[in-house]
Amino acid sequence: MSQLPQIRRTILKAMAALPALGAGLATREVAAQSAPIKVALITPLSGIWAREGELSRKGAQMAIDDVNAQGGIRSIGGARLQLVVADTGDGPEKAKTAAQRLVAQEPDLVAGCVGQVSAFGLAVTEVTERAGLPWLTWSYADQFTRRGFRYVFKTAIDASTMPSVAIPVVLDLAEKATGKRPQTVAIIADDTPAAQGAVKGFASVLPQAGVQILFTESFSPPISDATPVVQRLRGRKPDFIMLLPSSAPDVVQFLQKFAEFRLGVPTVCLGNLIGSPDMRNLLDPKLLDHHMTVVANWPGKRAEDVVARFTERYKEAWMTEGGICSYGDIWVLKEALERAGKPDREAVANALRTMDMTDGPARFYLNGRLKFDERGQRVGAGVAIIEWIDGVVKTVYPPEGATATAVWPRA
């Protein structure tokens, strides 16, 4: 009987602690609900592709800030997004290592995106696929959606498809500007997956369009000396050149050599490198005028508000393909999270697979539709053509987004 008072006191003390325990659990639950949802960007931040990667990082970070400023993920209690950035470095192996480190160190990562160099993105998505991480890419290489992966979603047109879409437009622009349709072409490309995929497409499409390919030259970036290639060009005198490098130093060297050897041949590139505002610091603006490039995405009239804020915030001359794609990708992931209703990888992937919209983040992509087919390829992905005119990059195609009329210099 003497133990009963002690037992009673123990029970009463435990009961008194229950409210505090409940409050502690509730506090931890609220804290868990308010924890930021992590999404990633893997992009080159060192090496020869670092500048393009930095422009992509800026676009992604601005999107993160915009999402959070507008209430975060409403279906998950207004949870905020947090951007985790990883550097691919300057090679596929480094990119793969960066992805492995990211997956290991960020177990609560929900999704991410990767762009710029296709070879890097292919290495990254080998890792993210095994982790079941939904991953967006705006790289061009066909392989992204040809490997049977379930968690890779590609917003850009395939590199091999770009020629069949772009070449008729390029030839029409040339004929409209000069009254003459080009008959011959030379192709210069590096050996990255996207460039080589495009070369195969051009090799098929150009002859069908009545254009003779005088020669094709491939090189490993960065090229040590472009002189031998340009000397061959000078001897063959093509009506225009398809220039397909993936690094800015190669673009600069070729355009300098074209001027040095006085080629005077219209040049059409692939990808947004030649559209970078930095080109004005690397080359005499006169050497840039009337060079065109075909891109899978470019800020259009529907995104003018985003471009204005981007240029003001970062003091950039304009927004490039990488900037608008990374900005748009974050908003796509935001939409997927809203539909998923929880920060769960599989739920987000399913939301991406079933998405079909022409509003919201769709305005940040060419043709304005967000729907992915069974391979993860965005339906209706197209091309834009931009051109340097009087020291500024202008959109000359598609018509609904054009800010200038194309100029095709007479060779």
At 394, is the secondary structure helix, strand, or coil?
A: strand
β-bridge partners, 9: none
For residue range 268-285, what is the model confidence (pLDDT) as tens digits? Answer: 998 888 888 888 888 888
User: What structural domains does the chain harbor?
Assistant: 35-157+301-380 (3.40.50.2300), 162-295+385-401 (3.40.50.2300)
List Cα–Cα distances, 78 to 6, 27, 41, 350, in angstroms: 49, 17, 22, 21
Please tell me which residue, 68 or 247, carries the higher pLDDT value.
68
Give CA angle at 387 (382, 389), nearest 5°.
155
Asked if pLDDT for residue 336 goes beyond 70, the answer is: yes
pLDDT value at position 11? 46
Asked if pLDDT for residue 57 goes beyond 60, the answer is: yes
pLDDT value at position 8? 52
Output the average pLDDT for the chain. 89
For residues 282 and 256, what is the distance between their CA atoms, to the nearest angstrom? 10
Query: What DSSP designation does 367 have?
Result: G
* Predicted structure pTM score: 0.84
Asked if pLDDT for residue 109 goes beyond 80, the answer is: yes
For residue range 188-227, what is the model confidence (pLDDT) as tens digits? Answer: 999 988 788 888 889 999 999 999 999 999 999 889 999 9
For residues 287 and 300, what is the distance between their CA atoms, to the nearest angstrom? 25
For residue range 312-333, what is the model confidence (pLDDT) as tens digits? Answer: 999 999 999 999 999 999 999 9
Give CA angle at 343 (341, 347), nearest 5°.
65
The share of the chain scoring above pLDDT 90, in percent, equals: 67
pLDDT value at position 10? 53
pLDDT value at position 293? 92
